[in-house]
Amino acid sequence: MKINIYYGGRGLMDDPTLYVINKMQTVLEELNVRVERYMLGELRNTITTLPQTLKDADGVILATTVEWYGIGGYMQQFLDACWLYADKEKLSKIYMSPVVMSTTYGEREAKLSLSTAWEILGGRPCSGMCGYIASTAALEMNDEYTTLIEKKAENIYRTINQKFTSFPASNQAVKQTVSVSQNTELTPKESEQLAQYAADDTYVKQQKEDIKELANMFRGMMGKEASDLDGYINKMKEHFSPLPGFKAIYKIVIDDKPVMMKVQASDISFEKTSGKGDVELVLSGETMNEIISGRMTFQRAFMGGSMTFKGEFGILRSMDELFTFM
User: Does the structure show a pLDDT above 70 at 239?
Assistant: yes
Give the pLDDT band of residue 198 (cuts 50, 70, 90). low
Q: What is the mean pLDDT of residues 176-199?
A: 58
C-alpha span between 3 and 1 (Å, rounded): 7
The mean of the pLDDT values for the chain is 87
Least confident of 138-142, 220-224, 232-236, 289-293: 220-224
Give the pLDDT band of residue 32 (cuts 50, 70, 90). very high
Q: What is the mean pLDDT of residues 201-205?
A: 69
User: Does the structure show a pLDDT above 80 at 79?
Assistant: yes
Q: Are strands 95-102 and 257-264 parallel, antiparallel or unpaired?
A: unpaired
- For residue range 240-276, list pLDDT tens digits in order: 999 888 999 999 999 888 999 999 988 999 998 888 8
DSSP track, 190-245: HHHHHHHHHH-HHHHHHHHHHHHHHHHHHHHHHHHHHT-HHHHHHHHHHTB---TT
* Cβ-based neighbours of 259, under 8 Å, separated by 6 or more: 229, 232, 233, 251, 252, 253, 270, 271, 272, 273
Q: Residue 189 has what pLDDT?
A: 61
Are the CB atoms for 100 and 110 separated by under 8 Å?
A: yes
Q: What is the mean pLDDT of residues 151-166?
A: 92
User: Does the structure show a pLDDT above 60 at 179?
Assistant: no
Q: Residue 225 has what pLDDT?
A: 47
Dihedral (CA of 200, 203, 207, 213) sign: positive
Q: Residue 161 has what pLDDT?
A: 93
Domains and CATH numbers, the chain: 2-199 (3.40.50.360), 229-322 (3.30.1050.10)
Q: Residue 201 has what pLDDT?
A: 67
C-alpha span between 326 and 323 (Å, rounded): 9
Cα atoms in the 13 Å half-sphere on the side-chain side of 297: 13
Give the pLDDT band of residue 3 (cuts 50, 70, 90). very high
Are the CB atoms for 280 and 298 separated by under 8 Å?
A: no
Least confident of 123-137, 178-192, 249-263, 283-297: 178-192
Are the CB atoms for 99 and 24 separated by under 8 Å?
A: yes
Q: What is the mean pLDDT of residues 221-230?
A: 59
Q: Which amino acid is at 126?
A: C
User: Does the structure show a pLDDT above 90 at 76?
Assistant: yes
- For residue range 83-108, list pLDDT tens digits in order: 999 998 999 999 999 999 999 999 99
Give the pLDDT band of residue 324 (cuts 50, 70, 90). confident
